[in-house]
Amino acid sequence: MSAVLTYSSRTCQLSSKDIAVAIAGSALIAHLLFKRYETYSIAAHFFLLITPPAVGVILLKNQSALLNAIVISFTSYLSALTLSVVLYRLSPFHPLAKYPGPVINKISKLWMAWLARTGKQHLYTQQLHDYYGDVVRTGPNELFIRDVSAITPIMGVNGLPKGPHWIGRALNTSVQNLVSLRDLNEHAVRRKIWNRAFSSAALKGYEEIIAKRAAQFVEGLEVQDSEVDLSKWFGWFTYDFMSDMAFGGGSEMMRDGDGDSIWHLLETGMIPSFSFGHVPWLGVYVGKIPMVAGTLKQFIIFGRKRTEERIKNGSLSRDLFHYLNNEDGAEKTQPSMMQLLSDGILAIVAGSDTTSGVLSALFLCLLSNPEAYKRLQAEIDKYYPPEENALDTKHHVDMAFLNAVINETMRLYPAVPSGSQRRVPKGSGGRTAGTYFIPEGTNVSIHFYSVHRDPRNFYPFPDSFWPDRWLIAAGQEEFKASGETFVHNAAAFIPFSFGPANCVGKGLALQEMRMLVCLIMQRLEMRFPEGWEPRTYEDGLTDHFVMMGPALPVVVKRRSQVI
């Protein structure tokens, strides 16, 4: 290859080396464009990845066979692009250069996407925090934080907008449900509708819907004469209930089982969705493959059918749909069909496996801690003796131990262990969070699981189920362990996230859990089957954005019977 630009009097011909330099140069420009625009447009990707080496092939084919020209041009272009990306990400010029983290994470998010499949991302990130400290660079442009002082600047009022992981999770750039709205103003406008749907008055109206499903749950378990999988039953309960709330019905899993495998699909759909959240650009491609996007499609078909039926039948009760569809007339404009559909599906997805996961973990903790079980039983028997309606919410506010058990369960097993990603907008100049400066264009998450189990926030027994800590913190019980310090940092308890984009369904979830737990414990007794090890459940827990548990086998009997 000649280093000289060959310039004859008749033709202008570039040497192979000049062409190679041009290809490498165009790769550097492509890198700059990818970095600058971070586009999810497949057309733009193709243009940037295919056009420059294709031009290289045209230039090279005068000097070598077509196949050679293709191999040389594409290999050198893609190698130069990859090298440029990798070197920049590892260089001291990268805005996140000063933050520690594993090299593989700094190079690409593909590693996290791969790891997320295993369901152990929460433990992996916790280990990274233990090793590297409170801030870890988990991706080329991503940080995870375990420091309470960063929670308000990142997620509070004046906090950051949602991150791009929702694009990858939806395998789509156009699904615009509440949780995925990345524009702060748009999110605030849509959130207003949801806030109305979860006001205290609206929640009161939902009690009847919860009560009907809770009674069905207990009646369903009462007639089981062998071991039951409590996880599965909680899944069915929450799915049936959320379908009532979102679309006025349409799911009868507690009655008919999961014949259509919807629950199974919901759970298995979470796995790729969580992985692609790490690589949204790849998610957009995969979303185009019909077989992979099948689960999402099935939900959309289910949701569309239910939405149409619900609109046709009108308002049967003041359910969530009543507000989402502006049936109370509070909004000036009616929502579009697409908005109704995507928010209705969001309600089912966001409200079912989160709540069922916490309920399963709660009974795991109670059945593994007989003292706590006995104590909660006594509290429930005091407020709801057999003749009292256990679905009446009037005593909930006084049930300190019940609330302590629910909080302690969510501290140890937060439904969304890896938190909800935010992003520092480009052009914002960056953001200071606590003692950290987060450059613009960075995706950042608070790691709920690590914050909840940090001994600097909760001590003693940060990794154990100890509901007493909540009573001690509230001044309702004395701290007796001599020589120990008691630490209880309420600001570090964020199972429902924090700020104006936190979980809008928090009130509903708490009401639902309190009602169901009171009814279950008024009417039923449970124990683990002989020889079953609670550790099996712990080991099988997975983080696929929502924490999901394996089977939780229990033997159930009516309270009057001895088990």
| Minimum CB–partner distance for residue 191 and ligand HEM (Å) | 5
- C-beta closer to ligand HEM: residue 60 or 361: 361
| Minimum CB–partner distance for residue 161 and ligand HEM (Å) | 10
| Minimum CB–partner distance for residue 552 and ligand HEM (Å) | 16
DSSP state for residue 149 in the 8-state scheme:
G
| Minimum CB–partner distance for residue 488 and ligand HEM (Å) | 20
- C-beta closer to ligand HEM: residue 140 or 163: 163
Name the token pair of 325: 């569809």
Q: Taking the CA atoms of 287, 289, 294 and 298 in sequence, report the sign of the dihedral they define.
A: positive
Mapped onto helix, strand or coil, the DSSP state of residue 443 is strand
Q: Radius of gyration of the chain from Cα atoms?
A: 27
| Minimum CB–partner distance for residue 84 and ligand HEM (Å) | 34
Give the integer Cα–Cα distance in Å for 495 and 411.
7
CA 557 to chain CA centroid, nearest Å: 35
Specify the DSSP element, H or E, that contains 432. Answer: strand 431-433
Q: Tokens 């939900």 correspond to what residue?
A: 299
- C-beta closer to ligand HEM: residue 76 or 443: 443
- C-beta closer to ligand HEM: residue 48 or 433: 433
- C-beta closer to ligand HEM: residue 271 or 501: 501
The answer to whether the annotation marks 503 as part of a ligand binding site is: yes
Q: How long a stretch of residues is the chain?
A: 563
| Minimum CB–partner distance for residue 320 and ligand HEM (Å) | 7
- Phi first, then psi: give them for residue 446, nearest 5 degrees: -85, 135
Give 546's strand partners: 544
Q: Which residue is at the shortest CB distance from ligand HEM? A: 505
| Minimum CB–partner distance for residue 362 and ligand HEM (Å) | 10
Amino acid at 133: G
- C-beta closer to ligand HEM: residue 76 or 273: 273
Burial class (CB in 10 A: 0-12, 13-18, 19+), 368: middle
Name the token pair of 357: 């996961």
- C-beta closer to ligand HEM: residue 85 or 546: 546
CA 283, 289, 292: angle at the middle one, nearest 5? 75
Q: For the residues of 248-306, what is the DSSP string, one character each? A: S----HHHH-STT-HHHHHHHHHHHHHHHHHSHHHHHHHTTSTTTTHHHHHHHHHHHHH
Helix axes 337-368, 230-247, angle to 10 degrees: 150
Q: What residue ranges bind ligand HEM (CB under 6 A)?
A: 155, 178-179, 191, 194, 346-347, 350-351, 354-355, 358, 415-416, 420, 495-497, 501-505, 508-509
Task: Please choose, from the candidates 137, 445, 154, 172, the residue with its C-alpha nearest in 3D space to the C-alpha of residue 283.
Answer: 172
- C-beta closer to ligand HEM: residue 441 or 505: 505
> What's the N-to-C CA distance of the chain in angstroms?
86
Q: What share of the chain is helix, strand, coil (3-state, %, to 5)?
A: 55, 10, 35
Tell me if 80 sits within 8 A of 24, measured CB to CB.
Answer: yes
- C-beta closer to ligand HEM: residue 60 or 518: 518
Count of Cβ atoms closer than 10 Å to residue 462 Cβ: 17
| Minimum CB–partner distance for residue 238 and ligand HEM (Å) | 8
| Minimum CB–partner distance for residue 358 and ligand HEM (Å) | 4
- C-beta closer to ligand HEM: residue 355 or 522: 355
| Minimum CB–partner distance for residue 251 and ligand HEM (Å) | 15
Task: Please choose, from the candidates 7, 45, 5, the residue with its C-alpha nearest in 3D space to the C-alpha of residue 21.
Answer: 5
CA 49 to chain CA centroid, nearest Å: 32
Give the integer Cα–Cα distance in Å for 7 and 423.
51
Mapped onto helix, strand or coil, the DSSP state of residue 455 is coil
- Annotated binding-site ranges: 503
Binding-site residue numbers for heme are 503
